[in-house]
Amino acid sequence: MIDERRTVDALLTGVRHHNRAVIDHEMRRLSGRAPGLSQHQVAVIEAALDDLAERLILARMRTMPDQAERLARLFDVRS
């Protein structure tokens, strides 16, 4: 059980870091493509992306601890 929990924690941490890197990259692209956005607009978009990553990816992973090893391989996350 402890090993399973450790695997789930490592998976969530790894995917969270990956999500952050993707969001950061896309926010840089957006700032180049839409330089007229205000800081508030950028913050709203970034918060929405963070929320989507949390609800659509991370929250669902938490409900599948028995699949953690398989998901870790899928997302190339080392435990």
Which amino acid is located at 25 in the chain? H
Summarised one tens digit per residue, pLDDT across range 47-57 is 999 999 999 99
Which secondary-structure segment (H or E) carries 6? helix 2-33
List the chain domain ranges: 2-74
Q: Looking at residue 26, what is its pLDDT?
A: 97
Indicate if the pLDDT at residue 4 is higher than 80. no
Q: What is the dihedral of CA 35, 38, 44, 45, to 10 degrees?
A: -10
Indicate if the pLDDT at residue 44 is higher than 90. yes
